[in-house]
Structure 1
Amino acid sequence: MLTDTQQQPLIERIRDIDHPEAVRRFFGLLKELIDIVNLPNGDARLAFVVRQEKASITAHINFFQALRIQRQRRSEVEYHLTVKKSCQDRLAILEELVFEPITEKSDYVAAIIGQSNVHLLYQPVLRTCWEDCLLELVETSKRGPHSARHNADVYRAAEDEAFLSELIRLADDPTLGDRRPNDYTAEEPEAEYETDPEQNSQPHNLILFGPPGTGKTFALQPYLRETSDRASLITFHPAYSYEEFVEGIRPEVINGQISYRIRKGIFYKACMSAIQQAGYATLADCLNDSVETRQQKLKKAPPHFLLIDEINRANVASVFGDLITLLETDKRLGAENELWLTLPYSQERFGVPLNLFVVATMNTTDKSIALLDIALRRRFSFREIAPDPSVLGIVDGVDLAQLLRTINERIEYLLDRDHQIGHAYLTTVETLADLCTTFRDRIIPLLQEYFFNDWAKIQLVLGDNAAWGKDPDLRLVRVKKKYTSAAAGKLFGELPDSIDEVVTYELNPYLQQGDFEQISADAFVKIYQK
């Protein structure tokens, strides 16, 4: 248990903030700050300060505020991320952001995010501006020392998750420091629990799959908006690994010496957040509790959602590793056949809580469901999100819904249903010029990829083939030239090895050059209307 009286101010500030999830989120940001500036605890350029009058915890770099969490009176929790003034125009797209000057003449401002808009913390443009600012602050000539104000325990809490959990527990109930470990396993009255309706219809492991542009990523947004403090988002990529997802060892250079530390990944942190929703501070507390109480708490706890975009871009079997078994509903902590294992790096006991829900998206043009690992298919539910032409209207006489239906029917015939085009490609089209731009820059390049530059099939999809009867001036993809044996001989001076007839193609010149006024709406109407 914590006994150092110097930790008391930090515990009191955590109690003032009165939002454990927000505190954990702040210390996660603080850990990122530490990793970016690469300065050890006690460095004169750092000052991590707790202030009673503002109920805040602040990280300073070279006298400049870099990061803050605060809660004044009964207002909501706020996160303050310092960015350069020049970034304000880039951040204007995030309308909910509020900016506040650091000082009257400072070149920096604080981007303020309330807890209700916490999803903004994960916007790439804000992260980039903040991280660039941190690197600039650490190099400024206006330096410390800060040793008189620096609270070393704030740094330690960012680095040591167990230490942070203990601080949060003591902030929640000061008497915990006097209790024995067994005191935490007492069962709570059944009447204090209410079933969370979100858990009744939601599969524990769900993959939303479909072709591009059907709104799969958009379907994740309600989780971020409505349960922003109970959702984590990650996008997989081909190099993503178990060490980044669960835990792994990363090298760090401190005072010229290389050291190796175990870093927790987003899956581990999501499991921790789910455990905390059930009233546990750590996984160890959960596993040390009685089976009956653990089941009761986790079945009734609010859900935490781990959202994975583009799940099939990574080697999923490698990323999840031996945790794939723990994902099964009946193997989760709090379930009938619960299991846990020992993590390979930290040697901690680990399990997946019953109130963690994994929701992922999968683009079927990258990989069909049939090609997924069998173990993964067995443990996930799959929900197809298909193109929905009904959301589209009529623009300048072009029936976008019928246009999309016809194109997709042709693609499904020539390829398969996994390569259809989603309605999102056309939802922003408001004018004929918008439609021309969408076809030139997005749809036709996508068809080139689908058909490996087989322009004859692209013509079939767009109704530009001769048999469809489209006027040549209305064709989006035209025959440029047909090379007979005589034409080939004239071009090369002799006949090439292949004397088959060769046909070359080109985009409609008006479409290619952006002269959209010269393109009639019939160029698109005649795609679906012969």
Structure 2
Amino acid sequence: MLTDTPHQSLVERIRDIGHAEAVRRFFGLLKELIDIVNLPNGDARLAFVVKQDKSSITANVNFFQALRIQRPRRGEIEYHLTIKKSYQDRLKGIEELVFEPLTEKSDYLAVVIGQSNVHLLYLPILRTCWEDCLLELVESTKRGPHSARHNTDVYRAAEDEAFLSELIRLADDPTLEDRILNGLGVEEPETEYETASKLPQQPHNLILFGPPGTGKTFALQPYLHEQNASLITFHPSYSYEEFVEGIRPEAINGQISYKIRKGIFYKACQSAIQQAGYGTIADCLNDSQENRRQKLAKAPAHYLLIDEVNRANVASVFGDLITLLEADKRLGAENELWLTLPYSQERFGVPINLFVIGTMNTTDRSIALLDIALRRRFSFREIRPDATILGEIDGIELPQLLRTINERIEYLLDRDHQIGHAYLTTIKTYAELCDAFRDRIIPLLQEYFFNDWAKIQLILGDNPAWGKDPNQRLIWIKRKYTANAANKLFGELPESMDEVVTYEINPNLQQDHYDQVPVEAFIRIYQKL
């Protein structure tokens, strides 16, 4: 309960601003500022100021304005983020941004963003410029004292979601505090929303899997054209600390400090929440379950795209969030759950309007080897090589060529190691076809079969029984070592020696003499005379 009076000026400014969502968004930014500068409430380097003569709330760091929200007498609500003047060129391409100098001779300026362009607040390049500036401001030698101007309630509201929610309720209804103090109790009415869902009809967690070159990453492109999408590529050393949140060391003026940094999954969940009108994840969790359900159901979708999802240790990267990924356990769903994050101790949940879509190369790791908990929570959609999109080059039927090679690979190895159509889709000339086989397809077959050249010959129809003329073969037999040849090479016969055969790639193909590589070298891969 709010039983004291020092908060009154802050309540009045929130009332002047008159936009609860904008206020929550500002305090979400302020929480990030506090985490970055890593200073306690009351530190002389901070001044969180509530001005009575202006409808604004300002966060100052060492006498410099760092963040502000204000409602001008005319016009929409504005957010002011301070950056170094030297960073202005990085942002010039974003036409909606307005730049205002803090003072005539200042090395810093404010980036002004109106409420109608609020999505720009979350541009990665802008956030990087702002965060870099905060780290510089906190080390400035131009110090306080700020204690006379600092409003401790502003700091508290950024750290305490429940306190902020009560401030906003008081600003919305000036009679509320009297009724609370008189013990009458108040129940916030449920807001009515349209119930029509805007969420796409697709699995919330989807993995596109298949051999290399089948267009799995290409299938993510339509999502990237959406405004609400984030892309990450997993790698073997990727961790929970990078994906969700973790403590990162930072060196400032030779001093090492450790701060909590949010990962792309956390930020994607936050972006999805903001699509529903919430400023932060905490704001969403503080809302009633029914309001939350209806808001998230009609919110636009946000997509988190994970390329090469199986290259990381997925169970380790997702950690304790694996349960929250289930569609019915998400915020806004029937059996919604949330947990407390281990580093920040914040409550956290995955919103129902977040869609996680990954790609998986089956040659790297089979689906059968994935964590069974992950397999249960994701839908899997296989993307196979599509030979029908290929054409003909100099009488070579590329569709039949690809189908024959893949059928042989599936017989000798498995279906997960087939060759995708992307290896041949860009080919326009015979020389480009030769390049593709020399630089991409044959090296891939070497990897698949661990340099078992006899099997590679079978794949390409270069085995003697298939009937190719010697000059038409892409893989040549370099030499067969009989007992006499081996005895001549070593001076004695190696023990337990079987007949040894060495191979080489057609020298004309290797040396770019494509005019010496007959077209039949490729036609006869799929066609036996």
Q: TM-score range by the shorter chain?
A: 0.7 to 0.9
Partner of 2:501: 503
CA distance 1:509–1:319, change in 2 (3 Å)? same
Check conservation: 1:59, 1:66, Cα contact below 8 A. Answer: no
Deviations 1:330-354 (A, max 9, x none): 1111111111111111111111111
TM-aligned CA distance change 1:296 to 1:62, over 3 Å: closer
Measured in 2, the distance between the counterparts of 1:440 and 1:30 equals 54
Provide the rounded CA distance (Å) in 2 between the counterparts of 1:161 and 1:415.
61
Larger radius of gyration: 2
C-alpha distance 324-184 of structure 1, shift in aligned 2 (>3 A): farther
Distance in 2 (CA, whole Å) between partners of 1:371 and 1:79 is 52
Counterpart of 1:311 in structure 2 is: 309
| Alpha-carbon contact 1:329-1:335 (below 8 Å) kept | yes
Q: Which residue of 2 aligns with 1:209?
A: 209
Cα pair 1:57 1:69 within 8 Å, conserved? no
Residue 476 of structure 1 aligns with which residue?
474
Are 1:416 and 2:393 an aligned pair?
no
Look up the SS of the partner of 1:362 in the other structure. strand
For 1:366, the equivalent position in structure 2 comes to 364
Say if 1:508 and 1:235 are closer, same or farther in 2 by CA, change over 3 A.
same
Are the aligned partners of 1:326 and 1:352 in contact in 2 as well (CA < 8 Å)? yes
Question: 1:406 Cα deviation (Å)?
Answer: 0.4
Is the Cα contact below 8 Å between 1:56 and 1:69 reproduced in 2?
Answer: no
Q: Residues 380-529 of structure 1: matches in 2 within 5 Å?
A: 380-529=378-527
**Matched AA of 1:196:** K
- Per the TM alignment, residue 146 of structure 1 is displaced from its structure 2 partner at its CA by 11
CA deviation after TM superposition for structure 1 residue 176, in Å:
6.3
Q: Tell me the equivalent position of 1:105.
A: none
**Which residue pairs with 2:190 in the alignment?**
187
CA contact (8 A) 2:260 2:343 kept: yes
Mapped contact 1:70–1:77 kept (Cα < 8 A) = no
Are residue 257 (structure 1) and residue 255 (structure 2) matched?
yes
Determine the structure 2 residue equivalent to 1:353. Answer: 351
- Aligned residue for 1:482, secondary structure, equals strand
Tell me the distance in 1 between the aligned counterparts of 2:32 and 2:284.
25
Aligned residue for 1:213, secondary structure, equals: coil
Counterpart-to-counterpart distance in 1, 2:470 and 2:309: 43
CA distance in 2 between partners of 1:515 and 1:499 (Å) = 37
User: Given the superposition, is the C-alpha separation of residues 176 and 472 from structure 1 closer, same or farther in structure 2, using an over 3 Å criterion?
Assistant: farther
Q: Among residues 326, 329, 339, which one is paired with 1:328 in the alignment?
A: 326
Whether the 8 Å CA contact 1:248–1:262 is kept in 2: the answer is yes
**Aligned letter for 2:416?**
D
CA contact (8 A) 1:47 1:61 kept: no
User: Paired residue for 1:196?
Assistant: 198
Aligned counterparts of 1:24 and 1:515: Cα–Cα separation in 2: 67
Q: CA deviation at 1:67?
A: 3.9
Say which of 282, 285, 288 aligns to 1:284.
282
SS in 2 for 1:353: coil
Shift of 1:65: 2.4
The letter of the residue matching 1:327 is L
Distance 1:25 1:393, change over 3 A: farther
Q: 1:77 offset after TM fit, Å?
A: 3.9
Whole-angstrom CA distance in 2 between matches of 1:28 and 1:419:
49
Quick one: structure 1 residues 28 and 349, their matched pair in 2 at CA, closer, same or farther if it must change by over 3 Å?
Answer: closer
Structure 1 residues 461 and 4: CA distance shift in structure 2, 3 A: farther
Aligned position for 2:243: 245
Change (3 A) 1:350 1:28: closer
Distance 1:482 1:48, change over 3 A: farther
Gaps of 5+ in 2: 38-44, 47-59, 100-116, 144-155
**CA deviation map 1:254-305 (0-9, x unaligned):** 3332221111111111111111112211222211221222222222221111
Higher helix residue share: 1
- What RMSD over aligned residues (CA atoms) do the two structures have, in Å? 4.8
Structure 2 counterpart of 1:308, which letter?
I
* Shift in Å, 1:186: 4.4
In 2 relative to 1, CA 516–336 (structure 1 residues): closer, same or farther, beyond 3 Å? same
What does 1:13-412 correspond to in 2, within 5 Å? Answer: 61=84, 63=86, 65-68=88-91, 77=96, 186-190=189-193, 192-196=194-198, 198=200, 201-226=201-226, 228-229=227-228, 231-412=229-410
Aligned equivalents of 2:474 and 2:410: distance in 1? 20
CA distance in 2, matches of 1:518, 1:25: 68
With normalisation by structure 1, the TM-score equals 0.72
Q: 2: CA distance between counterparts of 1:241 and 1:521?
A: 49
| Partner SS for 2:225 | helix
Maintained 8 Å contact 2:30/2:158: no
Structure 1 contact 403–527 (Cα < 8 Å) conserved: yes
Q: In 2 relative to 1, CA 79–263 (structure 1 residues): closer, same or farther, beyond 3 Å?
A: farther
Note closer, same or farther for the CA distance 1:350–1:56 as it changes in structure 2 (3 Å cut): closer
For residues 43 and 289 of structure 1, the distance between their equivalents in structure 2, rounded to whole angstroms, comes to 32
In the alignment, the residues of structure 2 paired with residue 468 and residue 456 of structure 1 have an alpha-carbon distance, to the nearest angstrom, of: 13
Which one-letter code corresponds to 2:192 in the other structure? P
In structure 1, the residue matched to 2:42 is none
Per-residue Cα deviation, 1:386-412 (whole angstroms, up to 9, x for no partner): 000011011111111111000000000
The one-letter amino acid of 1:508's match is: N
Aligned partner of 2:107 in structure 1 is none
Shift of 1:3: 9.2
8 Å CA contact retained: 2:27, 2:158: no
Distance 1:222 1:79 in 2: 31
Alpha-carbon separation, structure 1, partners of 2:306 and 2:478? 45
Q: In percent, how many aligned pairs have the same letter? A: 63
Tell me, in whole angstroms, the C-alpha distance in 2 between the residues paired with 1:79 and 1:491.
79
Does the aligned pair in 1 maintain the 2:28–2:158 contact within 8 Å? no
Paired residue secondary structure (1:495):
coil
Q: Which amino acid in the other structure matches residue 455 of structure 1?
A: W
Q: Which runs of 5+ in 1 are unaligned?
A: 35-39, 81-114, 139-143, 148-159
Give the secondary structure class of the aligned counterpart of 1:506. Answer: strand
- With over 3 angstroms needed to count, the CA separation of the structure-2 counterparts of 1:354 and 1:49, relative to structure 1, is closer
Q: Which amino acid in 2 is paired with 1:377?
A: R
1:152-193: CA deviation from partner (whole Å, max 9, x where unpaired): xxxxxxxx9958x99xx9xx9996697989999643323x45
TM-superposition CA deviations, 1:293-336 (whole Å, max 9, x none): 22222222211111111010000000011111111111111111
